Amino acid sequence: MCDKLGIEHRFALVMEASQPKNKNKLNPKWEGPYRVRKVIGPGTYRLEELSGKEIDHTWHGVYLKKYYV
């Protein structure tokens, strides 16, 4: 079963998230990579760092993109 981003719910997908904490012209526009920890609802995700540490807020799918290793 896949959602709008094509995330297969039984597999962990590595993502990058927009809206970094420090908004500056020269800073990166994306932060991460993160792993999808849980799908909260349609288009809403709970993320974790690759080390397993959970990110404290949820992300909407429009602010995520797939990260290719």
Which domains, ranges and CATH numbers included, belong to the chain? 14-66 (2.30.30.140)
Residues 38 and 56: beta-carbon distance below 8 Å: no
Whether this model's pTM surpasses 0.75: no
Model confidence band, residue 9 (pLDDT cutoffs 50, 70, 90):
very low
Per-residue pLDDT at 10 = 42
Separation in Å, CA 36 to CA 4, 10, 57, 63: 14, 11, 12, 13
Give percent above pLDDT 90 in the chain: 9
Separation in Å, CA 34 to CA 25, 28, 38, 43, 59: 23, 15, 12, 16, 11
Q: What is the mean pLDDT of the chain?
A: 76
Question: Which token pair is 12?
Answer: 């962990």
Q: 3-state class of 38 per DSSP?
A: strand
